[in-house]
Structure 1
Amino acid sequence: MASPVTIRPVVSKRDRRTFVDLPFRLYRDDPNWVPPLKGEALGLITPEKNGWYSHAKAQLFLAERSGQVVGRISAHIDTLAQEMPVERGFGPGSGQWGLMEAEDEEVFRTLVASAEEWLRSQGVTRAIGPISQSIWEEPGLLIEGFDHPPTVMMGHAKPAYRGWIEAAGYQPVKQLMTYELDITQEFPPIVQRIIKSGEKNSRIVVREVDKTRFDEEAAIILSILNDAWSDNWGFVPLTPPEIKDVGVKLKPIVFNDLIRIAELDGRPVAFMITLPDLNEPLAGLNGSLLPFGWAKMLLWLRRPKARTMRVPLMGVVKELQSSRIASQLAFMMIEYIRRAAVTHYGATRGEIGWILDDNQGMRSIAETIQSRVNKVYQVYEKTL
């Protein structure tokens, strides 16, 4: 007879390190899991180091059996998410769980029951998960695309998790998709014609960002993002502490020619952010920059050579989203970055997303440039 599973809250620095260490054991035989840097993973669950906690609270749990840690989960409440309209994903009474890993289904059931109990004690009536932890970090459970590693800032999971979650009474509420494409090939003739037409339009300027004016450029992009994404499912505005965190995290992998801002009549109206896939150099470091990882990473950051480029964010201001010019600006930015990625970084593959399953505009753009869905992430909900 198997020993019982016990659950205890994370209360110390040592507990947090144990929380971070668990996936390294559970995924050690999975060639498609990319070990995160342990220091960064610790920062995400440490309130003093993560600006998300300025408007959220969380309780982490560890599961143990026979003295060994066999699972983990986070239950959390985002006060800004609770202020959002219900039809946009969260809303009053909503809470989330995430960062879930479990050795088997019994462990999972015990973990999720503990998360639900904590959420109920905080007045939550609807649990949504997995959200790990912010919508801007790693939302959703991987349900398709287990045969290749995720790109930077995307999650991985065990195929069994889907069945366990659904058996626990959770219903799918939203899918998030990523699209991949061969960026060594030129886009179809219709896309090239749209791009050339835009280049003849004197009202349009598509420029590179200037990293020496990082804060100013970031403010422009954030303004467009908050407008462009404000009606999207799951949208929660980034706060100043989070913006600071994102800046620190992303600045080392920001390159001028991979991020574009489109201007119409001199006004910024669209942007596209592309990042070299940091998971490629991280894959061999086993979660640590010591003893020689620092040197390898610094050399890579000086001029990264990456097979894959990921587009985590694109946006066009709402007033233009139903116009033809919106897709024209998108195609122009995608093409200019494609050329730079291939020429300057040796990239051969692009990944766009995540994209919400009901975002027909972005899905149409992805399909028009002949990309295909390569990963699907699912978010679930349950009434408590």
Structure 2
Amino acid sequence: MRRKCSLAMIDCAGYFRFMSDTLRITPVTSKRDRKAFVDLPFRLYRDDRNWVPPLKGEALGLITPEKNGWYSHADVQLFLARRGDRVVGRISAHIDTLALTMPAAQGFGPGVGQWGLMDAEDEAVFTALLAAAEDWLRAKGMTRALGPISQSIWEEPGLLVEGYDHPPTIMMGHAKPDYRGWIERAGYSPVKQLITYDLDITQEFPKLVKRIIKSGEANPSIVIREVDKRKFEQEAAIILDILNDAWSDNWGFVPLTPPEIKDVGVKLKPIVFNDLIRIAELDGKPVAFMITLPDLNEAIKPLNGSLLPFGWAKLLLWLRKPKVRTMRVPLMGVRKELQSSRLASQLAFMMIEAIRKASVEHYGASRGEIGWVLDDNQGMNSIATAIESKVNKVYQVYERAL
């Protein structure tokens, strides 16, 4: 015979089962909460062979204000979903104050908040988390939501909607196929697609591209040079100056701030190699750049998020002379004054070819990934097509009025 609760004469066992199934959404307020926030994907994706576990220290740094320069111009609230004591979902709601100052025609602008870092066991959990994020944004005066953007536009924007069948490269996201339906059923519509391209870099480029490169090499006004890591700050300043000019009219552009630049430098310096980053000079003036990174995900995937006990030694050995299958091109830019000219594509082809050769000869790479590229970036999409690369992943950003 079941014991009865004396006060309301309800079934105690049934009552506590109900309480254990009740979904609670709570803000992240402690180190313990942040740890739970980071740990959740390790459980949700443990059977997904294409998910790459991030280093937990890096993931914690991303959501810790003191360790992420982006927080200097962001207002952020993280949320956890729990059923009983079990964490079953997470989401971030955030407002990039610099994004609020950007032209509305470029995607952000006044009243636009964002959400990201979303993972959930099921659609009911996701719906509750999204409602909490939207309520927080409304309370802050936001009238439109974009997502997922995790968390800065320079980190992992967009939801993976094509390309689940292979792992992401460094600084690219992964997601469960179910998430797309959950977001769209919540009333969100696609606003922008971000594309990555895959190519076999062991093969030479088509004859037309080779002729364009050869013509550029014969032009004494053009110099394609390697960066000098010994002058890291000076070279980074040159690249940043070109980037801010080249990308300033792009959808989603938000300028990088000094605290962010410092953080990016610390994170990326170990995988910066002189022959994989090129600056194009025209009559002695830097006018274009291309950054290529060896795919660090290939090295960290076996570590399952931890550098202990011997992961740090394996990673350090890899960083000294990486041998990888894949190289990723996360950023390329040509100054706006040249973007509508034939010279822009010529400089791009020349940099791509120089780095292609170095990637194969010095790092043993056989595959390249370019992106992400905005779906309406005709120049970059044309370059990717000309070198016979193929779309391998598509990420989608959604919007909804609040």
Shorter-normalised TM range: over 0.9
Residue 383, structure 1, aligned to residue 383, structure 2: no
- Corresponding position: 1:109 with 2:127: yes
Taking the aligned partners of 1:377 and 1:254, their CA distance within structure 2 comes to 26
Match of 1:302 in 2: 320
Q: Distance in 2 between matches of 1:201 and 1:297?
A: 42
> How many residues matched?
384
Aligned partner of 2:270 in structure 1 is: 252
Residues in 1 aligned to 2:395 and 2:210: alpha-carbon distance in whole angstroms: 31
Match of 1:128 in 2: 146
Q: Cα distance, 1:52 vs. partner?
A: 0.3
Matches within 5 A, 1:311-322: 311-322=329-340
Tell me the equivalent position of 1:346.
Answer: 364
Answering whether residue 103 of structure 2 is matched by residue 85 of structure 1, we say yes
Task: Tell me the amino acid that sits aligned with residue 85 of structure 1.
Answer: P
CA distance in 1, matches of 2:225, 2:22: 60
Cα offset for 1:316?
Answer: 0.1
2:239 to 221, 233, 248: 221
Alpha-carbon deviations, 1:154-193, whole Å to 9, x = none?
Answer: 0000000000000000010000000000000000000000
Q: Counterpart in 1 of 2:301?
A: 283
Aligned-pair CA distance for 1:5: 1.3
Which of the pair has more CA radius of gyration? Answer: 2
Determine the structure 2 residue equivalent to 1:33.
51
The match for 1:118 is 136
CA distance in 2, matches of 1:93, 1:321: 31
Whole-Å Cα distance in 2 between the matches of residues 152 and 3 of structure 1?
A: 37
1:166 has 2:173 as partner: no
Deviation, 1:66, is: 2.7
Q: Which amino acid aligns with 2:121?
A: E
Alpha-carbon distance in 2 for matches of 1:47, 1:121: 21
Q: In 1, Cα distance between the equivalents of 2:293 and 2:393?
A: 18
Amino acid at match of 2:44: L
Task: State the identity %.
Answer: 80
Matched, 1:61 2:79: yes
Pick from 315, 318, 324 the counterpart of residue 342 of structure 2.
324
Aligned to 1:362: 380
Amino acid at match of 2:36: T
CA RMSD, aligned part only? 0.7
Aligned partner of 1:138 in structure 2 is 156
- The residue type equivalent to 1:213 in the other structure is K
Q: Compute the displacement of 1:67 (Å).
A: 1.9
| Secondary structure class of the residue paired with 2:210 | helix
The answer for the alignment partner of 2:92 in structure 1 is 74
Unaligned runs of 5+ in 2: 1-17
2:177 aligned with 1:156: no
Q: Give the Å deviation of 1:57.
A: 1.1
Question: What are the equivalent positions in structure 2 for 1:89-100 lying under 5 Å apart?
Answer: 89-100=107-118
The equivalent residue for 2:8 is none
Partner amino acid for 1:118?
W
1:335 pairs with one of 353, 366, 375: 353
| Aligned counterparts of 2:390 and 2:217: Cα–Cα separation in 1 | 27
Unaligned runs of 5+ in 1: none
Q: Under a length normalisation based on structure 1, what TM-score does the superposition of the two structures give?
A: 0.99
Q: CA deviation at 1:4?
A: 2.5
Match of 2:214 in 1: 196
AA in 2 matched with 1:220: I
* Distance (Å, rounded) in 2 between the aligned partners of 1:133 and 1:97: 7
Deviation at 1:238, TM superposition (A): 0.1
Q: What SS class does the counterpart of residue 303 from structure 2 fall into?
A: coil
One-letter code aligned to 1:242? E
SS in 1 for 2:195: strand
Report the Cα distance in structure 1 between the residues aligned to 2:104 and 2:159, rounded to whole angstroms: 21
Query: 1:36-85 CA deviation, whole Å, 9 max, x = no partner?
Result: 00000000100011000100010000000132000000000000000001
Tell me the TM-score normalized by structure 2: 0.95
Superposition deviation, residue 22 in structure 1: 0.2
TM-fit CA distance, 1:259: 0.2
Cα distance between partner residues in 2 of 1:306 and 1:367: 24
Displacement, 1:265? Answer: 0.3
State yes or no: 1:21 paired with 2:39: yes
* Residue equivalent to 1:5: 23
Structure 2 Cα separation of the partners of residues 281 and 251 of structure 1: 16
| Alignment match, 2:194 | 176
Cα distance in 2 for residues equivalent to 1:152 and 1:365: 22
Mapped partners of 1:321, 1:306: distance in 2:
32
